[in-house]
Chains A and B, each alone.
Chain A
């Protein structure tokens, strides 16, 4: 009996309501098809488009505060036209500056690189690559997007209130974030920030639970866990990280909300504001940092792991070679996932953390270098002597590896608590995490978009624009962030409004100007990509074959424009792993092909 059973979304009997969606050949209204859609592909696209909008907003913020950092004291009258008293006399005011960097961090870390990245690709790829008609619960999946949407609305609305958005840094450390009187941004903007993040946590939880149970329960016949493409494994660990760490942030934020509005003393103690001692007593500001970074560090890997998974897949497909060391890749993903939970306090070496505790965190932190090095080695050996197709997606994947190496190495510096005493809160840190987490994950995301765009929209992205996009972004990223290492080693602090008044830092004035100019160019090139993206959706070259890249995975066995339910007729059965490239003289052997009689073992 079990031979004929195929797992279907929302199973047959107990979610009868979903049954009619299965093959998508009945008429849907615009609302159910594009807005409140329960199709995982549409939800993925919704996440992607919302993420792109957020990326433009967050990127624009960085351009604005780079103007201040590159040209302190210079007046840009156009800013006053747009931002009024926030940029009085065309100069970015301190409050505005802090709001900009806070929102830049929040938006890019959470709304772009968490929701926009794993939200997009987990939704798009999980059912397609494991061979399921949809997510385990399409309804909760839809809710996941709409909670994200609500979080976006609340966060956006905080930009338009008179006291401005949160301005205490994206880490919202108390007491700055806990006291209304601490700054303009600590007023209503901070409350809205907390509410938006709480909605975001709900969204990520709903999504994560769905991803996990889909990967575990909905795999098609023959798709054993060790036959899963590495993208799926990476997205699986991403979901696990999210499900276990986001609730801790939620707890921390609830306590912060209490401190702000109910007069409790979880994080507050011995504080004097305007000569008046506050009644709060006995709390610990370090406690918030512990709670925050218990999420914050896994969050880094929530951002990075999907990019790693997609890069593995894309490098293998486009070098026409099996991925090198599949099990080692799996093991290192697993190791990174576990270590991610154990190392949070390396963000807090100089906060008054117990130094002996700190040394344990140093040890655990440096251990992450091992699985990371294994992954880098395996990517390089996958490329080695491959028959590489230098498509934009391949270039971005290789760019990811490059950035991951250069950013990862500086992580070893910062992971040592002694060196961190010198380097903490300098531009060195900014350079490190932007390269290894920010730009690298962006590259993974771009690689994924270029690679799976044909699956999403049935058309190709323009390749020439893709090459321009890649080279300018790669060179630009290094030009922007490489010099920051030198600034940081010289002790230049991050987050400062104007560093030109220090003699030791004023020597970097021209360097900062250069960084600002390059960041504007890079931002412009991203707009070019966005133009390419939206233009290609409607006018791009049409995909004619179902498997344009000659890939093995299941998503390329669906029609060019798959309906809700993905496969017409039966779900394909899987007979092999996803990486049979260049085997027995054949360029690629899809997963659905049964093992031949004379086939060699891999």
Chain B
């Protein structure tokens, strides 16, 4: 094995090598896991649809469901990267060089979303036409009962 690795490249001294049976088991497990998560996601997505169709959609519930889907998606991403892309088998430092820069996304996402939201509030405050034409009306033709520029 060692000899073979040296032929491949002088930079690497060992190769990732897994037992065939063990490997197949791992892949099968991951595939099933990904499928199950996707099905759960679809289920939640459809329940959001039913909530929307209902009389008075609960925004909090929808938001919660969306949060759950996002977490499930992150789990899916974790399995794809760590098992399929074999990142989990790499040296810890290597994993860190991939994971740490991705932390930038936290502030990247937060700042963009906060500013997008603030742009909406600005327009709702200063552009009556925008507010009038885009603010969702409550069902059954009730005039908008409350001023809520901050929430979606």
Judged by CB atoms under 8 Å, the answer to whether A and B touch is yes
Cβ proximity bits A1-41 to B, threshold 8 Å, 1 near / 0 not: 11001111001111000000000000000000000000000
The 8 closest A-B pairs by CB, nearest first: A354-B118, A11-B9, A5-B10, A341-B104, A357-B114, A354-B115, A284-B119, A342-B107
Which A residues lie within 8 Å of B108 (CB)? 294
Interface members, chain B 75-119 (any A CB < 8 Å): 101, 104, 107-108, 111-112, 114-116, 118-119
B50 is an interface residue with CB less than 8 A from chain A: no
A286 is an interface residue with CB less than 8 A from chain B: yes
How distant is the Cα of A46 from the Cα of B118 in the complex, in angstroms?
A: 47
Interface members, chain B 56-92 (any A CB < 8 Å): none
Residue of A nearest to B93 (CB): A216
Residue of B nearest to A345 (CB): B111
How distant is the Cα of A528 from the Cα of B74 in the complex, in angstroms?
A: 58
Residues of B participating in the A interface, judged by any CB pair closer than 8 Å: 2, 6-11, 13, 101, 104, 107-108, 111-112, 114-116, 118-119, 122
B114 lies within 8 A of A6 (CB):
no
A14 lies within 8 A of B115 (CB):
no
A7 lies within 8 A of B11 (CB):
yes
Residues of A participating in the B interface, judged by any CB pair closer than 8 Å: 1-2, 5-8, 11-14, 217, 240, 244, 284, 286-287, 290, 294, 341-342, 345, 352-354, 357
B9 lies within 8 A of A357 (CB):
no
Which A residues lie within 8 Å of B7 (CB)? 13
Which B residues lie within 8 Å of A287 (CB)? 112, 116
How distant is the Cα of A286 from the Cα of B111 in the complex, in angstroms?
A: 12
Further contacts, 20 of them, CB under 8 A, given A11-B10, A345-B115, A357-B115:
A1-B2, A1-B6, A2-B13, A5-B6, A5-B10, A7-B10, A11-B11, A12-B9, A13-B8, A244-B101, A244-B104, A284-B116, A284-B119, A286-B119, A287-B112, A290-B115, A341-B104, A352-B122, A353-B118, A354-B118
B11 lies within 8 A of A286 (CB):
no
A290 lies within 8 A of B112 (CB):
yes
Which B residues lie within 8 Å of A11 (CB)? 9-11
Which B residues lie within 8 Å of A353 (CB)? 115, 118
How distant is the Cα of A352 from the Cα of B121 in the complex, in angstroms?
A: 11
B8 lies within 8 A of A14 (CB):
yes
How distant is the Cα of A353 from the Cα of B118 in the complex, in angstroms?
A: 8
Residue of A nearest to B118 (CB): A354
Q: How far is the CB of A137 from chain B (nearest CB, A)?
A: 13
How distant is the Cα of A217 from the Cα of B10 in the complex, in angstroms?
A: 11
Q: How far is the CB of A17 from chain B (nearest CB, A)?
A: 15
Provide a sorted-by-A list of 13 A–B residue pairs whose CB atoms are within 8 angstroms: A5-B6, A7-B11, A12-B9, A13-B7, A284-B119, A286-B119, A287-B112, A290-B112, A345-B111, A352-B119, A352-B122, A354-B114, A354-B115
How distant is the Cα of A357 from the Cα of B112 in the complex, in angstroms?
A: 10
Which A residues lie within 8 Å of B112 (CB)? 287, 290
Q: How far is the CB of A283 from chain B (nearest CB, A)?
A: 10
A290 lies within 8 A of B119 (CB):
no
How distant is the Cα of A286 from the Cα of B118 in the complex, in angstroms?
A: 11
Tell whether A290 pairs with B111 under 8 Å between CB atoms, given A284-B119, A341-B104, A352-B119. yes
Q: How far is the CB of B75 from chain A (nearest CB, A)?
A: 25
Which A residues lie within 8 Å of B8 (CB)? 13-14
Residue of B nearest to A243 (CB): B101
How distant is the Cα of A8 from the Cα of B118 in the complex, in angstroms?
A: 54
A357 lies within 8 A of B118 (CB):
yes
Which A residues lie within 8 Å of B114 (CB)? 354, 357
Q: How far is the CB of A120 from chain B (nearest CB, A)?
A: 26
How distant is the Cα of A357 from the Cα of B119 in the complex, in angstroms?
A: 12
How distant is the Cα of A353 from the Cα of B6 in the complex, in angstroms?
A: 56
How distant is the Cα of A157 from the Cα of B88 in the complex, in angstroms?
A: 48
Residue of A nearest to B119 (CB): A284
How distant is the Cα of A7 from the Cα of B115 in the complex, in angstroms?
A: 48
Which A residues lie within 8 Å of B13 (CB)? 2
Q: How far is the CB of A162 from chain B (nearest CB, A)?
A: 38
How distant is the Cα of A7 from the Cα of B7 in the complex, in angstroms?
A: 13
Which A residues lie within 8 Å of B118 (CB)? 353-354, 357
Residue of A nearest to B117 (CB): A354
B9 lies within 8 A of A14 (CB):
yes
Which B residues lie within 8 Å of A5 (CB)? 6, 10
How distant is the Cα of A286 from the Cα of B112 in the complex, in angstroms?
A: 10
| One of A2, A13, A342 near B9 (C-beta < 8 A) | A13
